[in-house]
Every structure is written in C-alpha cells, then in structure tokens.
Amino acid sequence: MIAEIGQYVLIAALVLAGVQAIVPLWGAARGEAGLMAVGDRTAIAQAVALLIAFAALTHGFVTSDFSLSVVFQNSHSLKPMLYKVSGVWGNHEGSMLLWVLVLALFSAAVALYGRNLPPTLKARVLSIQAMIGFAFLAFIIFTSNPFARLTPAPLDGAGLNPLLQDPGLAFHPPLLYLGYVGFSMAFSFAIAALIEGRVDAAWGRWVRPWTLAAWTFLTGGIALGSWWAYYELGWGGWWFWDPVENASFMPWLFGTALLHSSIVVEKRDALKSWTILLAILTFSMSLLGTFLVRSGVLTSVHAFATDPERGVFILAILAITIGGALTLFAVRAPGMKGGGLFAPVSREGALIANNMLLTLAAATVLLGTLYPLILEALSGGESRVSVGPPFFNATFGPIMVPLVLLVAVGPLMAWKRGNLRTASRKLIPAAVAAILAIAATFLAVPDGPGLAPFAMGLAAWLGAGTIAEWGGRIKLFSSAPTVSLRRLSGQPRSASGMTLAHLGLAVMIVGITGSSAWRTELVTTLSPGQTVEGAGYAVTLESVTEGRGPNYSFERATLLIREDGKLVTTMLTERRFFPVANQTTTEAGIRTTLLSDLYGVIGERGRTPETANAWTVRFFVNPLVPWIWFGALLMSLGGFLSLSDRRHRVGAPRRAANAPPANPPSQPIPAPAE
C-alpha cells in the first residue's frame, strides 16, 4: 500500500509540474498576480509530493519489500541498515527520484524565500524549474518507475553493488546532486532573464547565492567521492580522470567561472551576456553528466542504466533543454545593453582572464571525455581509443598555472581601473614565499621530478598572496592591533569565505604535487612471517585470518611497517567477498599523518601449490596526500561562510502594501537593498 501511495504522489508531482510550468509563465506574460502566485503553491506542493514518494521508496528498502523490483535488484535482507538506506539512491531508479526531489526542493526554496524577487522574474524562474522537473518526472514514470512490482515477490534480494556499501558512498551522491542539480537555479534565472530581456546588477545579486550553494555542495561531493575511491578501490590513487569523474568535474569548472562572472554583473553591471551563457553551459554540463551516467554509454561503478530507451529519452531532454536555451540566448542576448566600461588591467580584467582559463580547462576535459565516445559512434564501434591521465595531465595542468597566478593577483586589483605596479608591490611577500618554497623543495627532494618544486612554489605564491590580500583588507601590521581587530570583525563573510576558499586551493596544490611527484610503491608476494624492504620501509606480513561480516566473508591481513628497525604502525587490510553479488572488494589499511599516508593492500592469494600460502601485497607511501582533502574542506567551508553573508539573503526592497503586485514588462528590475 505504501508503494502505491508513492506511485500516486509521483504522478501527482508530474501534474503539479505541468501546472507550474504553464500557469505562472502565462501570468507573468499577462501581468496577473493571481496566476503568478500559482507557481509558489505548486512548487511547494510538488516538493511535498516528491518527499512522500522518496519516503515511500525508503520504506521499501528499510523493510526489505522485495515485491518492489528496485528493492529486489539492489538490496538484501542481510545488508546493514545504513546500506539499506543508501541503497535508495544506489541504483538508477532511486537516484533519479533523488534527482527530481533535489530539483523540487530548490524550487520550493525560491517559493518560500524569494519573496523579495520581482514577481514576474520569480514566476518565470519557477516555470523553467518546473519544465525541467516535468521532463525528468516523465522519464522516471515511463522508463524508470521505482515502484514497479514483482509478482510473486522473491524471498530475498540480489544485493547492492558491494563497492557502494561504504559510508562515503552513502553521503557522496546526495552532496553531488545538491551540487549539479542545484545549478538548475542559475539556469532558470538565466532563461527567465532572457525572456524578460533584462540582466542587471540586481539579477547578479539574486543568482549568485544559488550558484554559490550549488558550487559548495558540488565541491564537497567531488572531494568525498575522491576520498572514497582512494581508500576503497585499493589502487592508492585519488583521481583517475574517469569519464564519470569528469562528468561532475566539468560543471564544477563552469560553475566556478559562473560564480566569479556573476560578481562582475553584481558589482559593475558588466559581462551580462557572458554570465548568462555560463549559466546555460554549467547546467548543460550537469545534464550531460546525467546522460553519460544514465544512458549506458559508459561502463562504470557509477553507471546504473543500460537500457537504450532510457538513454534516448535523456538525450532528447538534453537536446531540447540545451538547444532551446542556446537558441533563446542567440535571439535575445544581442539586444542586452552593455555594462560599465573598465580597463584591461582591473579586477574585471582579471576575472575575465579567470573565466577564459576555466572555460578552456572545462573544454579540454569535455574533449577528452567525449572524443572516445564520438569516435566509437562514428566508426560503428570499430575504432576505440582510450583517453587517460597522460592526456589530461599534459593539457589540463598547463592551463592551471596561469590561472593560479591570477587568483593571487585578481583580488588585489581595483575595480574599473587597476594599478599593476601597486598590486605587484603587495605581492612581494608572495614572490619571496614562492622562491623559498622552490629552493626548499629542491634541497629536500633533489632527485624528484624537475617541475615539482615549481608547483610547490606556485602553491606558496597563492597561499602567501591570499594572506597578503587579507592582511591588506584589515590593515595588518600597518595599523594598531585594535584597528586590525575592528576591521577583521567588520569584514563581510563573503570576503572571508573567498580568502578561505583560495587558501584551500593552495593547500590542495601542495597535496596534489606531493602525492603525484614523490609517491613510491612496492608490489610483492609474501607469506605470513616474511618481510620485504622498499619505499623506505620494511613491510612484514604478520598473519592472514579469515572471518565473516554482516553479508560478506573476508581475509584480513596484519602488516607490520618498520622504518630503520623501529615499528611505525600495525596495519590491517581486508579482502572481502560478497557471495550474493559474487564480487570482491578491498579495504585498504591506511596510517595517515599531516605529511604523508602509509597505504597497504592485500591482494589475491596464490593459485599454484608453491604460492598457496602467499598473498600479493601492495604498499604505497603517498606524501602530502591528506592535504588534498583538507584543502577541499577549506574550499567548502569558504563557500558556506560566503553563503552565510547577510548580503546574499537580501533581495529587492519589500513592496509597500499599496504597491502594484507585479512589475510591468517595461519597468526595470529594482536593485536589491544594501
């Protein structure tokens, strides 16, 4: 009965999305407040309906209702409760339901908290959101119904993919969806602005917090997925340029450009058309990622759908949404008035260069991701190529160098017309820090890769430059301490969040450089009691024991790690076998410090009589790798700190009681209150 309720409210959500897509848009065109207000009520009702549907599906997984096809295929009665819950979105049907739920929650947030938005703009934004929701709800109901029944009901389920049975994967997809589905808000604001034919500083103020929220969640989701891959897959790495990894990284790159571009719209009423285009491209990358993962064109732990019908349906949504948005942009963008003028050497100029480099980086990732698929499609499957880390390292890395240099320079430039000489003087400490970092790295690791010291210098440049800019804002060392403290307490949270995010990027560069340049690996075969030396350590396989977990059996190895004869750590690593899925996974043993990770993995047991009592053992030393996730955490915290700035919660001034209910189409959008 509960599943049937979920089915009914899912259909009701489709109907509500259809009403929300048409009525408010018609009301905005006619200037009728009553019709525009329908958008608020239907957005909230749709979110409630989808919450009920999601709760109904969750109930099916928690109670192991195997009469539901999706529960049978992705759960098992012996599965721990955490993974029964995460199994709700650990499959195609459930993850798509989560997708539309997040979309509806963002719409409801606009309905509830967008009271100060101009009614016509708000109505159009909610209508665009509903159009996207209607398309994906139709996709779910007609091709991916999560409430499809099995008759008779099986006694038990097939189980969730063992690789997804991990706490990191329990939280990674919701964060990721809050990110790239959240970019739908920027898209809807952009399309609504194109329909109205107006983009101004007020629009930049309104769109920026939604972009910032999506960017922050996506940053956290990508970092959590990278961390999961690091400790769960047993290969000792944290990023492989997998197409599905790229599917979430591309909207992050475009979203970062959009975030910076919207600042120029808000502050200087410039870059309007470009910002609109970025909003379209950012969400387009989110839709492209959805297509890649759900269409079956990729083989990955993330790729749930293999039905061509689903792929064609999503491809149609992708073509209509992106094609329609770009067509509208081509028609309306040329009529937009330009904003304020500025010199090439200015903060606007630095942000434009930032945008160009980020867009180029995203285009590089897009090319490397799609080229093998396009070539295979054009050749009918006869030509297959693999584009892996060598391509991305050779193309993406060089683009990041000037970008990081600019990140330190841009905040020091004045709006409209900057002074490069003044900014250069402020960056003297950053240049000194970079030179010292390069020299120290050469001395500490003289036989490492030649470019690694320069990468460490780049991180020092960014970190010191960011601190110098922050110190200048509070007049650190140039005024009395009481003055600096007073200025510090009065700093906008958005400025402090920017500082924290830029510092996080510097920390990440340190971690990426260390783990890539100086990583060492030892691969050997050991029997219990044997020791091998390598990577600067002595590794002893002390014992291997067998046991059973909740829904798996395991072999657990105990590794003793010694350095210069002294015991550094005792490491436990497991090889797990899930009989229901007939699949094996690896649990790495990791000893982490601020400076490095020691990483051990037990592999397969020997299959010959001579190696029957021996196991493959892999041991890694990953210098500075914890800095990657610490840096990502700082970036996310910076995003949340910026999001808490009061100015992001202030929209247009409240209207008087006797004010007209809607803006006539000929009137400009009022600027937000300071």
| pLDDT tens-place string over residues 17-27 | 999 999 999 99
Q: Tell which wins on pLDDT, 419 or 161.
A: 419
Distance CA 113, CA 128 (A): 17
Among 113-117, 146-150, 516-520, whose mean pLDDT is lowest? 113-117
The set of residues, in sequence order, having a beta carbon less than 8 Å from that of 11 and lying 6+ positions away, is 141
Distance CA 228, CA 205 (A): 36
Distances (CA, A) of 665 to 30, 32, 55, 119, 405: 9, 12, 42, 11, 44
Lowest mean pLDDT among 186-195, 301-310, 579-588, 610-619: 301-310
Residues 257/674, Cβ–Cβ less than 8 Å: no
Q: Please report which confidence band the pLDDT of residue 295 belongs to, taking 50, 70 and 90 as the band edges.
A: low
Tokens 């665009």 — which residue?
128
Cβ atoms 397, 436 nearer than 8 A: no
Helices (H), 233-346: 243-268, 272-294, 308-332
Joined together, the tokens standing for residue 614 give 């021996």
Q: What is the pLDDT of residues 213-252, one digit of tens each?
A: 999 999 999 999 999 889 888 888 899 898 888 999 999 9
d(CA 602, CA 212): 42
Nearest CA-CA partner of 302 in 159, 489, 7, 92: 92
CB atoms near residue 406 (< 10 Å)? 18
- The rounded distance, in Å, linking the Cα atoms of 169 and 206 is 33
pLDDT in tens, 27-42: 999 999 999 999 999 9
Would you give the DSSP letter of residue 303? -
- Both tokens of 414, joined, read 């004045």
Alpha-carbon distance values, 591 to 549, 559, 564, 600 (Å)? 23, 11, 17, 9
The number of beta carbons lying within 10 Å of the beta carbon of residue 608 is 7
What confidence category does residue 668 fall into, taking pLDDT thresholds of 50, 70 and 90? very low
pLDDT bucket at 658, cuts 50 / 70 / 90: very low
Distance CA 442, CA 464 (A): 19
499: nearest Cα among 461, 463, 475, 456: 463
Predicted confidence (pLDDT) per residue in 613-626, tens digit: 999 999 999 999 99
Q: Determine which of 294-303, 319-328, 660-669 has the lowest per-residue pLDDT on average.
A: 660-669
Helix axes 493-517, 452-473, angle to 10 degrees: 170
pLDDT at residue 640 above 80? yes
Instruction: Report the distance separating Cα 16 and Cα 473, nearest Å.
Output: 49
- The CA–CA distances, whole Å, from 521 to 119, 235, 510, 619 equal 61, 10, 20, 6
Lowest mean pLDDT among 30-34, 61-65, 488-492: 488-492
Residue 662 clears pLDDT 70, i.e. is over it: no
Asked whether the bond before 167 is cis by omega within 30 degrees of 0, the reply is: no
Report the distance separating Cα 399 and Cα 421, nearest Å. 25
Output DSSP code: residue 450.
T
Peptide bond into 152 cis (omega under 30): yes
State residue 163's pLDDT score.
75
Q: Is the pLDDT assigned to residue 673 strictly greater than 50?
A: no
Spatial distance between the Cα atoms of 652 and 669, rounded to a whole number of angstroms? 9
* pLDDT tens for each residue of 528-538: 999 999 888 99
- Rounded to two decimals, the pTM is 0.91
Residue 649 pLDDT level (bands cut at 50, 70, 90): low
**Residue 417, number of CB atoms within 10 A of its CB:** 15
In contact, 106 and 129? CB cutoff 8 Å: yes
On the question of pLDDT at 654 being above 80, the answer is no
Look over the chain and give the mean of its residue pLDDT values, rounded to a whole number: 89
Per the model's pLDDT, the better-predicted residue between 549 and 381 turns out to be 549
List strand residue ranges (DSSP E) for 37-191, in order: none
What is the maximum alpha-carbon separation in the chain?
91
Using CA atoms, how far apart are residues 130 and 142, in angstroms rounded to an integer?
18
Encoded tokens for 529: 């009691």
Using N-to-C axis directions, what is the helix angle for 201-232 and 272-294, rounded to 10°? 30
Nearest to 292 by CA among 233, 238, 400, 366: 366
Task: Give the C-alpha separation, 607 to 604, whole Å.
Answer: 9
233: number of Cβ within 10 Å: 17
Q: What pLDDT does 338 receive?
A: 67
* pLDDT tens figures, 307-360: 667 878 888 999 999 999 999 999 998 887 766 778 888 999 999 999 999 999
Q: How far apart are CA 418 and CA 331, in angstroms?
A: 34
What pLDDT does residue 381 have? Answer: 67
Indicate the angle between helix axes 92-113 and 119-143, nearest 10 degrees: 170
Q: Answer for the pair 178, 255: CB distance below 8 angstroms, yes or no.
A: no
Per the listing, tokens 């018609």 go with 26
What pLDDT does residue 34 have?
95
Q: What order do you get walking across the sheet with 566-578 strand by strand?
A: 531-534, 537-548, 553-563, 566-578, 583-587
Query: Which pair of structure tokens corresponds to residue 621?
Result: 């030393």
For residues 501-524, give the mean pLDDT. 96
The helix/strand count (H/E) of the chain reads as 20, 9
**Is beta strand 566-578 parallel, antiparallel or unpaired with respect to 553-563?**
antiparallel
Distance CA 131, CA 142 (A): 17
* Angstrom distance (rounded) from CA 47 to CA 106: 9
Distance, CA of 253 to CA of 271 (rounded, Å): 18
Find all residues with CB under 8 Å of 373, minimum gap 6, and list them: 297
Looking at the predicted structure, is the pLDDT value of residue 584 above 50? yes
Say which residue the tokens 């600042």 belong to. 263
Which of 46-50, 202-206, 574-578, 670-674 is the least confident region?
A: 670-674
Q: Does the pLDDT at position 659 exceed 80?
A: no
In angstroms, the CA 227 to CA 221 distance is 10
Q: Determine the Cα–Cα distance for residues 161 and 301; give it in Å rounded to an integer.
A: 8
Report the pLDDT value the prediction gives residue 7, as an integer from 0 to 100.
96
> Which secondary structure element, helix H or strand E, spans residue 575, and what is its range?
strand 566-578
